[in-house]
DNA sequence: TCTGGGGTCCTAGGACCC
DNA sequence: TCTGGGGTCCTAGGACCC
């Protein structure tokens, strides 16, 4: 039986989330910035129309668009995570064959659902999601995921589709692909585009007209799958919701630092975040990697970057063990005389939490059991009272000025335009003006 | 002054083994 | 006279995605 896939994609996700609580910004350009208010990571339709490019550094936004009335927000992942979870719940409810692909996208498999009118089904669901959450989504429906992504593009760009576009015949497929730039195809990136353009391939349809072996020799097996999907051959597997195979937490700092204690504190915090993410997916890891880097944009300063790993014979997921492993690593690679801009922690070689494969020489099972109970208790306190209610000593930033308390992780990132966490923190709701 | 963060998969080449 | 060949594993780097 032929399959039918739908892709659901929140329109300009982060901007739409901010607008839910700021309806005064509807119809106006809105942008959301990366951590430290570094550069533009999301743009509303109006912001795109005004010519603001993706990835524009914030300071250049001010230089290049001095007179543009644009709503600017620091990223607020707590808010986006909560609102998109509500959107996903509605979609999952409408279709049980559901796979969440990213924070703002989900695939559904509709073939087994006996939907008579796919277009109406999609349009109705769009309306429901908008009404219940305030978030607009676009829906593309076709026989392969890649074609569904094309349909989704049409649904987004042309109001006539009423947010849902269906490609379900060969005629529609041909027409859609002939009007579709090949660079917009899911799976075709910048490097592939260069190669395609050399051979005068500009539309998705042009791409379908070359031979399979040409695609394989010019690129690789992944590109062949994309090529087949555009022909209507379903060949990109729907991955099960598997646990992540690696987890990374990294940040650029608001300024630069040459101070080991500060760097060490950053690394502690990132390692602690990795440990939390690991436990949330009920996993353990047996490798912790730390990397540090200077500022590549400052060619006038000496550059240095390095990484180091620590492996565990018995896989771990406690904050204590992961942090102490990470600190060993950073100790090894830190060099004085450099100004560091970025650091990160990666946990990998991930496995299911239980049963843990214990090391033959691991005599200290009772210690591990105690650590597990302690970690669970701390997680619970942080869940109830807000994250960072309890942290390790090494996660505390030292405050030089005054004799007050140590600074928190939150203070370490610049976000001057952060919206309140309207939906998840009552403290914030009370302070909404 | 200011330039993001977090993933996955594939491939080529080297090391190593028989 | 004249330096095999094939398999596997690992790793770094490159490509893509959101």
Reported as half-sphere exposure (CB side, CA atoms, 13 A), residue A290 has a value of 26
What pLDDT is stored for residue A429 in this prediction? 61
Beta strands in A45-125 (DSSP E): 71-74, 98-102, 105-109
What pLDDT is stored for residue A406 in this prediction? 76
Distance A147 CA to B9 C1' (A): 21
Distance A307 CA to C12 C1' (A): 13
Size of chain A in residues: 433
Distance A220 CA to B14 C1' (A): 22
Strand C, nucleotides covered by protein (CB < 7 Å): 14-18
Q: Which residues, by CB, come closer than 7 Å to strand C?
A: A 101-105, 149, 185-193
- Whose C1' is closest to the CA of A102: which nucleotide? C18
Q: What is the DSSP secondary-structure string of A287-335?
A: EEEEEEEE-TT-TTS---EEEEEEEEEEEE--HHHHHHHHHHHHHHH--
Strand B, nucleotides covered by protein (CB < 7 Å): 1-11
What pLDDT is stored for residue A144 in this prediction? 97
Cβ of residue A250 lies below 7 Å from strand B: yes
Distance A403 CA to B8 C1' (A): 47
Cβ of residue A248 lies below 7 Å from strand B: yes
3-state secondary structure of A132: helix
Distance A192 CA to B12 C1' (A): 18
Cβ of residue A289 lies below 7 Å from strand B: no
Nearest-CA neighbor of A317 among A273, A285, A363? A285
Q: What is the DSSP code (8-state) at residue A369?
A: H
Cα–Cα distance, A336 to A290 (Å, whole number): 17
Strands A30-33 and A164-166: unpaired
Distance A310 CA to C10 C1' (A): 17
Nucleotide C17: closest residue by CA–C1'? A187
Cβ of residue A34 lies below 7 Å from strand B: yes
Mean pLDDT split into 10-residue runs, chain A, 433 residues: 95 97 96 95 96 95 94 95 97 95 96 96 98 98 98 98 98 98 97 96 98 94 96 87 86 94 96 95 94 92 92 93 96 95 95 71 76 90 82 82 67 88 74 52
3-state secondary structure of A344: strand
- Judge whether A203 and A182 are in contact, CB under 8 Å: yes
Q: What is the DSSP code (8-state) at residue A296?
A: T
What pLDDT is stored for residue A243 in this prediction? 80
3-state helix, strand, coil in chain A (%, to 5): 45, 20, 35
- Whose C1' is closest to the CA of A248: which nucleotide? B6
- Whose C1' is closest to the CA of A254: which nucleotide? B2
Nearest-CA neighbor of A287 among A326, A250, A320? A326
- Judge whether A293 and A342 are in contact, CB under 8 Å: yes
Cβ of residue A277 lies below 7 Å from strand B: yes
Output b/e per residue, A207-241; b: 16+ Cβ within 10 A: bbeeeeeebeeebeeebbbbbbbbbbebebebeee
Distance A33 CA to C4 C1' (A): 59
Cis peptide before A355 (omega within 30 of 0): yes
What pLDDT is stored for residue A135 in this prediction? 98
Cβ of residue A245 lies below 7 Å from strand B: yes
Predicted structure pTM score: 0.92
What pLDDT is stored for residue A384 in this prediction? 80
What pLDDT is stored for residue A407 in this prediction? 79
């Amino acid at each position: 039986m032929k399959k039918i896939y739908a892709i659901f994609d929140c329109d300009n996700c982060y901007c739409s989330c901010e607008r839910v609580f700021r309806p005064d910004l509807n119809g106006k350009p809105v942008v959301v910035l990366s951590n430290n208010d570094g550069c533009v990571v999301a743009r509303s339709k109006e912001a795109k129309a005004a010519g603001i490019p993706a990835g524009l550094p914030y300071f250049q936004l001010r230089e290049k668009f001095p007179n543009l009335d644009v709503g600017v927000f620091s990223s607020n992942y707590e808010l986006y995570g909560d609102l998109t979870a509500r959107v996903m719940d509605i979609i999952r409810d409408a279709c049980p064959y559901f796979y969440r692909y990213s924070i703002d996208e989900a695939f559904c498999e509709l073939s087994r659902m006996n939907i008579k009118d796919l277009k109406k089904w999609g349009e109705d669901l769009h309306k429901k999601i908008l009404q219940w959450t305030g978030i607009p989504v676009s829906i593309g429906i076709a026989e392969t995921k890649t074609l569904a992504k094309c349909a989704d593009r049409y649904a987004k760009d042309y109001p006539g589709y009423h947010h849902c576009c269906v490609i379900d015949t060969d005629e529609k497929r041909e027409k859609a692909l002939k009007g579709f730039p090949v660079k917009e195809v899911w799976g075709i990136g910048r490097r592939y585009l260069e190669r395609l353009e050399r051979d005068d391939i500009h539309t998705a349809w042009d791409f379908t007209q070359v031979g399979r072996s040409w695609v394989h020799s010019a690129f690789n097996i992944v590109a062949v799958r994309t090529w087949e999907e555009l022909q209507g051959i379903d060949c990109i597997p729907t991955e099960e919701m598997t646990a992540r195979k690696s987890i990374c937490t990294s940040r650029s700092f608001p300024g630069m630092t040459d101070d080991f204690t500060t760097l060490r504190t950053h690394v502690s915090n990132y390692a602690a975040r990795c440990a939390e993410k690991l436990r949330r997916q009920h996993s353990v890891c047996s490798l912790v990697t730390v990397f540090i880097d200077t500022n590549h944009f400052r060619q006038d300063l000496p550059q240095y970057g390095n990484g180091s790993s620590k492996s565990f014979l018995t896989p771990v997921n406690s904050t204590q063990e992961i942090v102490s492993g990470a600190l060993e690593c950073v100790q090894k690679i830190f060099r004085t005389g450099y100004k560091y801009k970025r650091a990160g922690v990666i946990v990998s070689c991930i496995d299911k939490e239980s049963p843990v494969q214990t090391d033959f020489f691991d005599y200290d099972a009772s210690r591990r059991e105690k650590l597990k109970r302690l970690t669970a208790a701390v997680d619970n306190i942080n869940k109830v009272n807000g994250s960072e209610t309890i942290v390790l000593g090494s996660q505390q930033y030292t405050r030089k000025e005054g004799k007050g308390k140590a600074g928190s992780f939150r203070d370490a990132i610049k976000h001057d335009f952060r919206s309140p966490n309207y939906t998840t923190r009552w403290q914030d709701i009370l302070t909404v003006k």
